[in-house]
Amino acid sequence: MNDDGLLEELPVTGAQPLRGWHPHHRLGLYALPVLAALVVASLLAVLEPNFYRTANLHVLMQQFAVLGLVTLGQLLVLLVGGIDLSVGAVMNASLIVIALMNQHHDHLAASLAACIALGVAVGLTNGLLVSLRDVPPFAATLGMTACVEGAILVYTKGVPAGNIPSSLRPVALSGVGIVPYSLIICIGIAAALVFVLRRGTFGRKIYAVGRSPEVARRVAISTTGIRVSAYVMCGALAALAGIILSAYVGYVDPKIGGDYNLKSIAAAVLGGVAFTGGEGGAVGALAGVLFLLVLLNVVTLSSLNPFTQLIVQGVVILVALSAFQFIKNRSAV
Amino acid sequence: MLMLAGAVVGTAIAMLVAVGVSSGARTKTPVVAFVSQGTSNSWAAQLDAVARKTAKRLGVKLLYFNGQGDATKQLPEIQRAIAQRPDAMVLVPLGQAADTGPVERAMAMGIKVILCDSKVNSNNYTSLVNPNPATATVPLAEWLAKKMHYKGNLLYIGGLPGNGTTILYDQGFKKVLKKYPNIHVVNGGNANYSISTAKQLTATAIASGKTFDGTWGVGGEAVTGILQAYVDSNVRPIPPNAGAAATNGSLRLAIENNVQAAMLQFPPADSKVCIETAVKAINGQKVPKSINISALPAYGNLYPPLKRYYKPQYSDDLYVGTDAVLNHSELAAIHLVK
């Protein structure tokens, strides 16, 4: 039994039924982004054979690991009906922490632990603001972004010091065959998340809170606890992504998290995750990541004019989202 | 009695005149409002430190306004600066259109306005001090074309689409490349002034299997990202590179990996010229309407051998030329000493 039957399982009274919500429809929705990614991959084999070069696949996997981890975190927050616009700031902060602690000759493990602790702290604050103070997630996490970025600037005076330790770099640059360690970490976490979301009680509670917090409360689910834990996990995953991206870039770039806020949201939505909460899964979200990165990769390989590249990316994403919404609406009728 | 009264009045008038003359002749401390890009990155930190030091050296009272790296946040700071009625305002415009009105208002109030590093949509200012990438990139692109023997693939990593500086960089580059049809420009995408993005784009381009005979990066971040991607991909030799801007980090990567590279300067140390120009204008000296930083010997393009510009004792974030103005302890104060 997966989360599809959750509401039917819960002793709900007075709950609004979800129209047309059947397991086979959900399966279709999850399969759609995966199918889309497979179709694109097949087309690429014919149209852009360079895509399948080992070196290109290796680069794609490196990039997938980073965006994949951030998107998995974003997925959890979106599932509980939230959104996290502070993931990019957490990634930036992770890089700064690693670089500064490296400059002070601190042990690498200590700096990694500090990064994760920072991500957890940011997530915890976000979660508490959203759950206990009813601050809209958009505002809470945007405010948190300003706090984290401001703290970085105050501490570094705008000039980040230090270097990325060379012992960290193999996490992103080396691996088993062409598969980087970072991807193995990402897939491992994704597999655990798939299991938790589909089989675990925690996963069911996440979907329940996302679909209807009121109903979840009536069946004695701690909506505060579930929301806070979703934000905490999102923060921790963003910090992990920041660590891996730092290892990949190998340079102190204080804006390393740049557009990961929007990219992670776009990937999750492309993968069938709903803004309204309670809808979507890890496999779909990762398919969305794959779709987005393949698109970016192909556009880069195509050597189109940079302005045209932006248009192509935008049009393809809009078409994909429209198609997804159309099929979703059809399946809900 | 009348004579006494006349003497008193005469003395009083004489004293008043004397006081008036002496106060007019007194050297008044010039007040310069410095509306900076503000706390945002290492470039801005160096710009501010150089401006502060120059103001101190020239005996100027510097009123600092922090633009926080954002045009919308900078706008009210400009208004606050004007309200102080300084003798001059040195503005680092973050919003070309948005800043135009306040600049014209300041000029109307008799405040000398020195635009530092960027323009506004008006010619109503005292002086514009900035590098001119449109002309400075021409010799760089020529240098790169020559290194490529005027043929082959050139990987282009762009800046921020629509950004004024990016447009100027592209103008010079395109002008030159038009002359060499055997050089095929491969668009790698826009890095948006991000090292991380530039690295990812370049890594993808390298992984495509295409070989590149030269690379061009818009912005120091793009150049650093390009070089870092080549270093990590183990492709050797790394093709010649040109672009901007010259940081200690991009120099280090080029030197360590034997890359033939040429770089344009977009030096934060040019705030020295901005403050000096403001003081000249306050003192009634004639100042040029436009000062092209790139044409000044200290801020010209850098060509190999690059070792003469690299400073191993300083961090990667040091821009070439900053250490000519700031001493070791001043550089340490802004985290630029290793």
pLDDT, tens digit, for every residue of B1-39? Answer: 445 455 555 555 554 444 444 444 446 899 999 999 987
Of B161, B204, B335, nearest to A161 by CB-CB distance is B335
Cβ proximity of B223 and B264 under 8 Å: no
User: What is the 8-class DSSP label of residue B269?
Assistant: G
Residue of A nearest to B42 (CA): A159
CA distances from A65 to A62, A142, A143, A296, B324 (A): 5, 25, 27, 15, 43
From B276, B273, B257, select the one nearest B265 (Cα to Cα): B273
Of the partner residues A58, A252, A299, the one whose CB lies closest to the CB of residue B207: A58
Does B40 sit within 8 Å of A251, measured CB to CB?
no
What is the C-alpha to C-alpha distance for residues B21 and B26, in angstroms, rounded to an integer?
A: 8
pLDDT over 50 (residue A21): no
Find out if CATH 3.40.50.970 is the number for domain B31-131+269-299: no
Range A248-268 average pLDDT: 90
User: Over the stretch A151-194, which tens digit does the pLDDT of each residue have?
Assistant: 988 888 777 777 899 999 999 999 999 999 999 999 999 999 99
Q: Which residues pair with B319 in a beta bridge?
A: B247
- In B, which residues are within 8 Å of A259 by CB distance? 192, 197
- The structural architecture, per CATH, of the domain B133-264 is 3-Layer(aba) Sandwich (3.40)
Complex prediction ipTM: 0.80
Is the CB of residue B189 less than 8 Å away from at least one CB of chain A? yes
Hey, is A115 helix, strand or coil? Answer: helix
Q: Which of A291, A310, A289 is nearest to A299 (CA)?
A: A310
Mean pLDDT (whole number) for A325-332: 72
Check if B211 contacts A (Cβ < 8 Å): no
Report chain A residues whose CB lies below 8 A from the CB of B186. Answer: 303
Q: How confident is the model at residue A18, as a pLDDT?
A: 40
pLDDT at residue A19 in the model: 40
Q: Are B164 and B193 in contact (CB under 8 A)?
A: no
Of A56, A159, A161, the CB nearest to B204: A56
| Residues in chain B within 8 Å Cβ distance of A60 | 204
Residues of A whose CB is below 8 A from B40 = 153, 158
pLDDT along chain B (338 residues), means of 10: 51 47 59 91 92 97 92 94 97 91 96 94 95 92 97 94 82 95 92 90 92 94 94 93 90 95 94 97 96 91 95 92 95 89
Instruction: Name which residue leads in pLDDT, B124 or A308.
Output: B124
Every domain of chain B with CATH number 3.40.50.2300 lies at 31-131+269-299, 133-264
* pLDDT for B11: 52
Chain B: residue whose CA lies nearest to A102: B338
- Closest by Cβ to A251, choosing from B42, B44, B224: B224
Whether chain A has a CB inside 8 Å of the CB on B44: the answer is yes
- Contact, A311 vs A303, CB < 8 A? no
Residue carrying structure tokens 């948005």? B98
Closest residue in A to B155 (Cα–Cα):
A303
Residue A15 has pLDDT above 80, yes or no: no
Q: Tell me whether residues A158 and B334 touch, CB distance under 8 A.
A: yes
pLDDT exceeds 80 at position A325: no
Q: What is the pTM for the complete model shown?
A: 0.82
Question: Taking CB atoms and an 8 Å cutoff, what residues of chain A touch B195?
Answer: 249, 251, 253, 255-256
Query: Nearest CB to B39: which of A153, A297, A300?
Result: A153
- Taking only the tens place, the pLDDT of each residue in A288-307 is 999 889 888 888 777 777 67
Distance CA B338, CA B194 (A): 23
Q: What average pLDDT score do residues A101-125 get? A: 94
Longest dimension (CA), chain B: 107
Average pLDDT over residues A253-276: 89
> Is pLDDT larger for residue B290 or for residue A321?
B290
Distance from CA of B255 to the nearest CA of A (A): 16
B192 and chain A: CB distance < 8 Å anywhere? yes
CA-nearest residue of chain A to B190? A306
* Distance of residue A303 Cα from the nearest chain B Cα, in angstroms: 5
Q: What is the mean pLDDT of chain A?
A: 86
In the sheet that holds B112-116, the strands lie side by side as B61-66, B31-36, B88-91, B112-116, B127-130, B290-292
Are A63 and B187 an interchain contact pair (Cβ–Cβ within 8 Å)?
no
CA distances from B211 to B12, B142, B152, B240, B322 (A): 88, 20, 9, 12, 36
pLDDT band at A16 (very low <50, low <70, confident <90, very high): very low
Helix axes A54-79, A181-199, angle to 10 degrees: 30
CATH code reported for the domain at A32-332: 1.10.3470
Q: What does the alpha-carbon distance between residue A265 and residue A311 come to, in Å, rounded to a whole number?
A: 19
A–B interface: beta-carbon pairs under 8 A: 120
